[in-house]
Chain A
């Protein structure tokens, strides 16, 4: 057996042993390594939710002990092989009323704190920071209302890690290029919606999970008590890469948050200048191809595949397709405006004119398309102006 196979077999085995060990040491700190329970979280709400969860859990355990206790008592003591003779009772009104009323009382006792927590969760008034969260197939877009800051947040785990050709990093699949930064101690309201299908924005440590529904806006909120990085994922099946659109919330002190906000605004201006410069300068065909390949890998390859072959008919092939070998303007148009009602988004607000020019040039010349076309940023700008 070659060594890589050995390693492949060994790693799982040792991890299994570790899991067994953790289970046997359940109440101890060793469990911290492999999480077994809902996180307590970092907001007052998430703590109340955790308390509700543990209360109802222990109620269930108590009922289970009584019910299964009687059952196993019968299984052990009332077996025919031990000479048990069957009794003949088959009803008892008093007992039946009692075991209807007791669960009723337990449920009412449980409903009271649950209602109180829910009422608090629904109070979205008096928020100090408003952030619009928009789900896209398969990334998140964050827009700080009144702050002129907005950005996309993409999975940043490299493809090689997912395809098992590179070692997986600590936050595998739970890391993004641009985290959502929020201030601690302030009420942050999330206005959640979607650009295409239904997604669900979930950060366990904030106890926030709300569906992102196209055409509607849902509200949720959090006051984070401790600075830190909190990770979550899309929770509603949203198509092929549903498992690859994580959420990272970076909670910072209000001062740090303000600094970040200023830096972000500055960065935005710089980016605008860079984009303008990139649009204005002259690009060679080779430069556009090189840049286009990068943009394609980031924005297009998830659906149209690195090979350009797509996954027809839902994600069409770009090889010798009417779009990539036909009219240049139609090609620019579909990249900029998208195709409504399909996974093809409008990339006009996600890519700069130079990036659109590069990716269109790339698509028209890669994979044997060989049209020889060069699309310049100016072409894209002219197209957009129309």
Chain B
């Protein structure tokens, strides 16, 4: 290390954060940025959640009661967009910011200024998206999958705000991904070989490559829409020689890797938490890494299973069916590994463990319905029904969201130096668990019985289960307000936490004091 950077290093080491608002606006610190991401994500989670409750309130009974069908479509669209791009993805980037430098023994992320930029783009992107609710013609109403030509020729004029919003989110994600890759490849402590990295770091590394490959495709597809709408091209208009199905191919070429972008870091989190509370090393570390990598690779050759009904040739239909079924193999390996980790362990059931166990059970149920959906002839009956809604909410809510909540409970003591209230945490868990299953389990039945998704009103035979789902939705929603209360109470008045509050936790982050110092590792730790 040369003298200049030595001095810079020292200067940084002795300076804490700036004070006031400028700390947050100009920060290049991975923990501050991680915190910003987490709070932003939670804000979006409540926003998207409120929209879900508007949907569930309208569907409480058959008939139109609260909103008109046009606004209903705006709600389903915005709920999906906000939850995917505003809640789940930023939460994982926030966790990556907080944890990756501490887990690999680095002082900070590799590209701190870009880190600041990639966060601060997001509030503007979502302001732009949410503004459309108050404009002429209303917010985007064509579903979060925005199929052309409903989203081009037939779209409300606000579609342009949506396109620019998506562009900004994409730029933010790509910068975040570059930062993660640069950090992991360059800033690991000496001796930490790739195959010694914690699984959360591994899954995020693979996720970052998925982001790099998938987000530009999304940028392309929205740009093509922009041109179709404003500049007279006909990419997606058959009358001009284009093809509406081309849109779907491009969208899902992004969309399917996106699905794994939202679940691989969750796999990483669960792979950290299960061994801790089983007091036993993770079973099959290497096979976990290989399984994650194979899922990521497979994610690029299964996209058209979202399009089994568009009239693909038989050969295409068969290829995408087989490839999709194949994903069950590496996913199964992961589930078997987690359960083998628990087997003959010494288990305790603190809140993070409860959420992690629920993750395994409920994500696996979502995986089963995914396997059913892979069977193309059967998919003709499942496609675009509530069965699909049940499926992807089972992998995203108890999957991605439960993993994020588990991560917050697990690392909160490290972040703020205080413990949450274990009793309240357990109440939050059971409250969420019951609400969630009440909401989404009945959707399997109404989907199989024939209720299409994205409809504001339904036939009478679907009434009972819709009512159950609506009640469940409100139960689940208010549980998350309770979660906010638990976190704030922990930050302000929780008991002091030890450097390692968990008996079985291993990893570099637990060698730092709680709360973790502003700059994680000034000198790299030794790895044996």
Chain A residues in contact with chain B, CB under 8 A? 12, 15-16, 18-19, 22, 34-39, 48-49, 52-53, 56-57, 60, 63-64, 67-68, 70-71, 73-75, 78-81, 84-91, 95-96, 99-100, 103-104, 107, 110-111, 114-115, 117-119, 121-122, 137, 161-164, 168, 170-174, 196-198, 200, 202, 204, 207-211, 213-216, 218-219, 232-244, 311-314, 340-343
Contact = CB atoms under 8 A, between A and B. Distances in A.
B496 interface: no
Nearest to A209: B380
Interface string B449-467: 1101111111111011101
A63 to B, nearest CB: 8
B201 interface: no
B111 interface: no
Interface stretch (B46-54, B331-339, B391-399, B478-486): B331-339
Contact of B448 (A38, A71, A81, A115): A38
26 contacts: A12-B60, A12-B467, A53-B381, A56-B372, A60-B371, A70-B343, A71-B357, A74-B343, A78-B346, A85-B346, A86-B346, A88-B280, A103-B328, A111-B322, A163-B63, A197-B154, A200-B383, A209-B381, A215-B244, A239-B154, A240-B141, A242-B454, A243-B452, A243-B454, A244-B69, A311-B70
Interface stretch (B257-265, B311-319, B427-435): B311-319
B318 A237 contact: no
A118 B342 contact: no
Contacts of B317: 118, 122
Contacts of A60: 368, 371-372
A239 B341 CA distance: 49
A86 B280 contact: yes
A241 B455 CA distance: 8
Contacts of B238: 213-216
B285 interface: yes
Contacts of A52: 375, 377-378
Nearest to B326: A107
A96 B377 contact: no
Given A74-B347, A80-B346, A118-B321, A215 B464 contact: no
B346 A198 contact: no
Contacts, number: 304
B457 A56 contact: no
Interface residues of B, number: 100
A60 B365 CA distance: 9
A172 B460 contact: yes
B378 A241 contact: no
Interface majority SS (helix, strand, loop, mixed), chain A: mixed
Interface string B344-381: 11111100000001001100110010011001111011
B121 interface: no
B43 interface: no
Interface stretch (B84-92, B102-110, B142-150): B142-150
Contacts of B150: 197-198, 237-239
Given A71-B339, A215-B238, A240-B141, 10 more contacts: A53-B375, A95-B340, A99-B332, A110-B375, A114-B376, A118-B321, A162-B63, A163-B64, A235-B383, A236-B147
B332 A103 contact: yes
Contacts of A173: 62, 457-459
Contacts of A95: 340
Nearest to B137: A313
Given A99-B333, A173-B458, A197-B149, A235 B62 contact: no
Contacts of A244: 69, 457
Nearest to B360: A71
Contacts of A197: 147, 149-150, 154
Contact of A84 (B347, B357, B385): B347
A63 B455 CA distance: 34
Interface string B285-313: 11100000000000000000000011100
Contacts of B157: 313
| Interface-central residue, B60, B377, B381, B383, by most chain A CB under 10 Å | B377
A242 B141 CA distance: 12
B384 A200 contact: yes
A56 B378 contact: yes
A185 to B, nearest CB: 22
A34 B464 contact: yes
Contacts of B449: 34-39
Contact of B450 (A204, A208, A214, A243): A204
B286 A91 contact: yes
B149 A198 contact: yes
Given A214-B238, A235-B385, A118 B245 contact: no
B339 A74 contact: yes
B245 A213 contact: yes
A294 to B, nearest CB: 23
A91 B284 contact: yes
B153 interface: yes
A342 B283 CA distance: 58
A114, A237, A311, A341 pick with most chain B CB within 10 angstroms: A237
Contact of B69 (A117, A209, A234, A240): A240
A111 B325 contact: yes
B451 to A, nearest CB: 8
Nearest to B143: A237
Nearest to B454: A237
Most chain B CB within 10 A, of A84, A211, A343, is at A211
Contacts of A343: 154
B280 A15 contact: no
Contacts of B141: 239-240
B445 interface: yes
B70 to A, nearest CB: 5
B321 to A, nearest CB: 7
B515 interface: no
Contacts of B377: 48-49, 52, 114, 117-118, 121, 207
A202 B452 contact: yes
A172 B62 contact: yes
B308 to A, nearest CB: 9
B279 interface: yes
B284 A96 contact: yes
